[in-house]
Amino acid sequence: MDRDLSPQVAKLRIAPGNGLGVHEVKVQDGWYAVSWFAKGNSTEWGGKLTAYDAAGKLLKTLPL
């Protein structure tokens, strides 16, 4: 997944639409990694990726 995100991003919240739960990922120096395994076609997952700065301010929301 290649996304255009601000260098101010400190945390990502990933909420797949397929019932895998919500996952929070700490971003350090602009780097983050996320992976998961699920059955089915990834185009059917839906969901969203939400980016926050260090103060918890919402910076951007993107579809997965």
Interval 7-30: pLDDT, tens? 888 999 988 877 778 889 888 877
Query: H or E stretch including 61?
Result: strand 58-63
Query: H or E stretch including 50?
Result: strand 47-52
Domain range list for the chain = 11-63
Is the pTM for the entire model greater than 0.95? no
Instruction: Summarize the confidence of residues 23-43 as an average pLDDT.
Output: 74
pLDDT at 57 over 80: yes
Query: H or E stretch including 13?
Result: strand 11-16
Is residue 51 packed enough to be buried (19+ CB in 10 Å), middle (13-18) or exposed (0-12)? buried
